[in-house]
Chain A
Amino acid sequence: MTTKMFGAPIKRREDPRLVTGGGRYLDDLGHTAYEAAFVRSPHAHARIVDIDVTDALETPGLVGIWTHEDLDGPVGENLPLLIPHPALIAPATGFALAKDEVNHVGEAIVLVVAENRYAAEDAVARIRVDYDFLPVVVGLETARTAANLVHDHAPGNISAHLLQEVGDVETAMAGAPHRLSLDLAIERSACMPMEGKGVYARWDTDAEHLTLWSSTQTSTGVRAAVAARLGLPLAKVDCITPDVGGGFGVKIMHPWPEEVLIPWAARLLGHDVKWTEDRREHFISSAHERGQLQEVEVGFDDEGRVLALDVKFWHDNGAYTPYGIIVPIITATQLLGPYKPGAYRVEFWSMFTNTVLVTPYRGAGRPQGCFAMERTMDAIADYLGVDRAEVRSRNFILPEEMPYDHGLMFQDGRPLKYDSGDFPASLAKLKALVGWDDFAPYREQAASEGRRVGLGIGCYVEGTGVGPYEGAHVVIETSGRVNVATGLTTQGQGHQTAFAQIVADELGVPIETVHVTTGDTRRMAYAVGTFASRAAVMSGNAIALAARAAKAKALKIAADALEVSEDDLEIIDGVIGVKGLPEASMPIGTTAVLSNPLRYAFDEAAKAATQFAGTFDPDKPPVADDEEPGLEGKDFYSPTQATFANGMHAAIVETDPVTAEIKILRYCVIHDCGTMINPMIVEGQVHGGVAQGVGGALYERMVYDEFGQLLNASFMDFLIPYASEVPHVEADHLETPSPLNPLGIKGAGEAGCIPVSAVIASAIEDAEGFPITSMPISPGDLWELRQQHDRGELPSLRRTTAESAKEKS
């Protein structure tokens, strides 16, 4: 028997190469290319009066300088709106190079190409731009006042307004025995992949062909966008994704200005051109996420069951909306988590500000939604004096209620309908893992030592594996080598391993013979991309289907050659054999030889296959009417709806009674992504997600001043947690397979980060005894809150008040 690969925690095959410096990232390519740099706006809102490049023309090594006026045809038009939506009433997109006006610090104004990046930056430093300043809008509070506008066509600074309601919230709220309201806030953070963006373009003048490499999460999307902008036939553009040093969402946005401009310049110059984003550019010119203000009103009964949930929130979309309103839509729908409120109304306003644009970042609106819901659950528990886990379980959707339709529309325009999950079982596992019921004595023990500890919890459901489709092409060579191509990209997820595990099992071949190519439009022209925790679900299933097709063909050929029925055949370790008859067999590569009637004996496999060639029928064509030469399988997977993964996290934190420093003592995760292809990879994804979640909860914020200057645009001041700040993650799994796809998979990519801010807030609140309503939180913030609490400006939790009353009596 071939060892079963699917489900095995095998080590990632790509890692030895990646961790020993064998990776080829964007900047490892194109050593002879010219390099680009940009004059980027130092002002958040201004009209461009004049651009003077005279002095820069003297720069040694300069190749060319271009401004918006130089951009011909579609290259100079507004960048596309990728995902329109009827609720997006005042969309806005920028230009590849700013035209007349800039709307955030970092917006590209002038493109400079030089012999190298040093010379390009020298020229940039010598270009003078004159501006007329316009009033700057920074922060949601300022945007809401609408005293000044980011765009004249967007009154109130509102780009989008959407209301969804299920049931009658007003009536349910009025009839609820108890009501609470919460004001919540989440600050901005960003994906911050280790490798920034980058584009390298090569124009072949003779062939009039563009080859483009981009550090992207969608090579097919970039290819189509660039072809359209440059007026090239799709057949004349290839887009290849090299190794990508992380994406986390920011690289699914496309086309970035640079993705249009670099190929454009390469064609114009007839010379390779490359642009590698530096860290400062990444901070001020790519994208951020997360910033929201939320108002929650909840009505509930004596048991803590939610009868009515009414949520309003304001979402900071930055200066432009090229990616539409996916993020706030996800917040609005995924906020519900594992719960079933009696009635639900959610209304949001997506707001323009003069800051860098906002596009999905791992979790994509879910961390904010989860924060709103979980803070609400804790508030209900505290109000009623009921255990926090108990209140959650009373609101759970039960396994027997699956599939559960919330009656809302999800991000993909399809019904928000959960396919699977066993929330009570997940909660039971989490409570056991963290020692939920033993926490009280632990807290008392700690208190007797002068220490403050708190326990927090957070639950979420994550729609994953959204469509519309993904495809795969499996080709078996005569040597037995299996080439697998799928069009979506890889930015560190371990696809070389997980996808190969699927193929190894489906075909019955050793994993060493399976080679996976991703993100190369020459190998798979139709694909969507790697985002929304979709790669394993979408490409994983497409690959399984394609492998099955290739296997069926191999068995058919082998059955003919061995003169047995296909049903009697099996493939073990790459050899097709007759069950129970070990001597009648042939390597799978031999069927590849037989599949092609053009049988030059170039290799041993071809020579060996001649024994099976048999006699041919002169009346039939060499390739039968319903056949193709070659041993291949190609298929697409296109689901009717998303799969819904879920998870529950708990943390124990300690806060220093004097300095308010915050330490995570334990971090526990129960994770359900359905059937796991490789549990080790899933755990790696969870660990990475938790690390980013910890960043969002305790460290990362984008500090803009009132003029729209980002004050911490470097890794010195934007505090991504180091390994030393990330707690050891204790993870356990529950596998409730998705009934929606052949492999039973649900997505796992984003899960880890979703509930972390909610969990840490819950734990700090538990340690401190007063509500935590805004994240992230630093020691300085917590210290400040303690003082507000001491001054009576911040109420105590009811359970704290009750406890101290008990102590006094």
Chain B
Amino acid sequence: MKPAPFVHHAPRTLDEAVAVLAEVGHDGKVLAGGQSLIPMLSMRLAAPAHLVDINGVAGLDSLTVDGGYVRVGATVRHRGVERSEEGYAVLPLLRQALLNVAHPAIRNRGTTVGSIAHADAAGEMPSIAVLTDAVIEVRGPQGSREIAAGEFFTGPLETELAADELVTAVRFGRFAPGTRTGFVESARRSGDYAMAGVGVALTAAEGTVTAARASFVSVTDVPDVLDLTPVLAGASAGDIASRSDDLVTAVREHVAPEGDIHATADYRRMLAAELTRRLVAEVMSR
């Protein structure tokens, strides 16, 4: 469990980082919090010859709230996002979801942007990225570009990102006024990757739902949004239970879980549907 030899690059500026990355190309990997990459190196599941460590790159470590979004820089730790009062005030979903990402020790090091770049379908934050219509800010040898979260994830652990590009920040979009959010998951042990998880955003006007969407963790191969507006529109806290069957059906049809040693596909499908039903009821009751 020791990594194969690699060259460690420690650029101080974004330009430097991009230049090194362009030079080493497919033989290089960006190192952020290391909470996913280092275990893979130690088990020699990956053996890149170069690590481009972005932790010392100036200007990547801030979280800012601007009118329409919460912008998280590439070296902001999960914990920083989770604890940001400013972020919580405008987008509580970030904290709601982040409390489910591993344990504090890992959140102290792992980055939210790294988690999105890593694109694990069992990760919470890719799912939150799509649910919030986030924008992924990317920098490469050709300059900067932006990718909508909905287009960013192309498969399990696969994204639109080219080998010589890095993500500099992610902008999580704010919801329409009157939107309440929630997140819930079930894992074998607290802090483990979920067997199934779900985030919802319910927009209501005068007590009745006008729009509803959900995204999932661990039960879809790429994170995507399920529009629940057709199922929930017009529902109120009092009669939300009457929509349960339709809601459960909608989720069951949307998700496409795979079984593994911790839970079968059938179980995960049931779990995703039941968690969604409970979460919707809970968010409506607030």
Contacts of A118 in B (CB 8 A): 2-3, 5
Chain B minimum-CB-distance residue to A712:
B261
Complex Cα gap A638–B274 (Å): 61
Q: Is the CB of B270 within 8 A of A699?
A: no
Contacts of A778 in B (CB 8 A): 188, 262-263
A703 within 8 Å of B (CB atoms): yes
A342 within 8 Å of B (CB atoms): no
Also in contact, A719 and B43, with CB within 8 A (given A118-B5, A779-B263, A783-B270) = no
Q: How far is the CB of B249 from chain A (nearest CB, A)?
A: 15
Q: Is the CB of B188 within 8 A of A659?
A: no
B7 within 8 Å of A (CB atoms): no
Contacts of A117 in B (CB 8 A): 2
Q: Is the CB of B2 within 8 A of A779?
A: no
Also in contact, A721 and B274, with CB within 8 A (given A703-B261, A712-B261) = no
Complex Cα gap A577–B275 (Å): 74
A602 within 8 Å of B (CB atoms): no
Q: How many A-B residue pairs have CB under 8 A?
A: 62
Contacts of B4 in A (CB 8 A): 121-122, 125
Q: How far is the CB of A279 from chain B (nearest CB, A)?
A: 7
Q: Is the CB of A724 within 8 A of B190?
A: yes
> Which of B2, B3, B270, B275 gathers the greatest number of chain A CB atoms within 10 Å?
B2
Chain A minimum-CB-distance residue to B190:
A724
Contacts of A661 in B (CB 8 A): 186
Render B185-206 as a binary contact track against A, CB cut-off 8 A, 1 for contact.
0101111100100000000000
Contact of A125 among B44, B261, B267 (CB under 8 A): B44
Contacts of B43 in A (CB 8 A): 280, 714
A72 within 8 Å of B (CB atoms): no
Q: Is the CB of B263 within 8 A of A780?
A: yes
Contacts of B188 in A (CB 8 A): 699, 719, 778-779
A1 within 8 Å of B (CB atoms): no
Complex Cα gap A628–B246 (Å): 90
Complex Cα gap A444–B195 (Å): 31
Render A776-787 as a binary contact track against B, CB cut-off 8 A, 1 for contact.
001110011000
Render A710-721 as a binary contact track against B, CB cut-off 8 A, 1 for contact.
011010010101
Which residues, 235 to 286 on B, are CB-close (under 8 Å) to A? 261-264, 267, 270-271, 274-275
Chain A minimum-CB-distance residue to B274:
A658
A722 within 8 Å of B (CB atoms): yes
Q: How far is the CB of B286 from chain A (nearest CB, A)?
A: 21
Chain B minimum-CB-distance residue to A783:
B267
Contacts of A165 in B (CB 8 A): none
Complex Cα gap A288–B274 (Å): 37
Q: How far is the CB of B66 from chain A (nearest CB, A)?
A: 37
Also in contact, A780 and B264, with CB within 8 A (given A280-B1, A699-B188, A722-B191) = yes
Contacts of A303 in B (CB 8 A): none
Q: Is the CB of A121 within 8 A of B2?
A: yes
Complex Cα gap A128–B43 (Å): 18
Render A681-717 as a binary contact track against B, CB cut-off 8 A, 1 for contact.
0000000000000000001000100000001101001
Q: Is the CB of B1 within 8 A of A659?
A: no
A790 within 8 Å of B (CB atoms): no
Contacts of A658 in B (CB 8 A): 270, 274
Q: How far is the CB of B20 from chain A (nearest CB, A)?
A: 23
Q: Is the CB of A659 within 8 A of B270?
A: yes
A725 within 8 Å of B (CB atoms): yes
Contacts of A725 in B (CB 8 A): 189-190
Contacts of B5 in A (CB 8 A): 118, 122
Complex Cα gap A125–B4 (Å): 9
Complex Cα gap A659–B192 (Å): 17
A100 within 8 Å of B (CB atoms): no
Contacts of A784 in B (CB 8 A): 264, 267
Q: Is the CB of A659 within 8 A of B263?
A: no
Render B1-28 as a binary contact track against A, CB cut-off 8 A, 1 for contact.
1111100000000000000000000000
Contact of B261 among A659, A717, A721 (CB under 8 A): A717
Complex Cα gap A580–B195 (Å): 73
Q: How far is the CB of A567 from chain B (nearest CB, A)?
A: 61
Which residues, 167 to 191 on B, are CB-close (under 8 Å) to A? 186, 188-191
Q: How far is the CB of B277 from chain A (nearest CB, A)?
A: 9
Q: Is the CB of A659 within 8 A of B271?
A: yes
Complex Cα gap A199–B199 (Å): 49
A55 within 8 Å of B (CB atoms): no
A401 within 8 Å of B (CB atoms): no
Chain B minimum-CB-distance residue to A121:
B2
Contacts of A703 in B (CB 8 A): 261
Complex Cα gap A703–B188 (Å): 15
Chain A minimum-CB-distance residue to B268:
A780
Q: How far is the CB of B13 from chain A (nearest CB, A)?
A: 30
Contact of B186 among A121, A122, A659, A722 (CB under 8 A): A659
Contact of B189 among A278, A659, A721, A783 (CB under 8 A): A721
Q: Is the CB of B274 within 8 A of A659?
A: yes
Q: Is the CB of A278 within 8 A of B1?
A: yes
Q: Could you show 8 A-B contacts with beta carbons less than 8 Å apart? A: A125-B4, A278-B1, A658-B274, A659-B270, A699-B189, A719-B188, A722-B189, A779-B188
- Nearest 5 CB-CB pairs, A to B? A278-B1, A724-B190, A780-B267, A780-B263, A118-B2
Given contacts A121-B44, A703-B261, A779-B263, 16 further A-B contacts (CB under 8 A): A118-B2, A118-B3, A121-B1, A122-B5, A659-B186, A659-B270, A659-B275, A717-B261, A719-B188, A719-B262, A721-B189, A722-B189, A725-B189, A779-B188, A780-B264, A783-B267
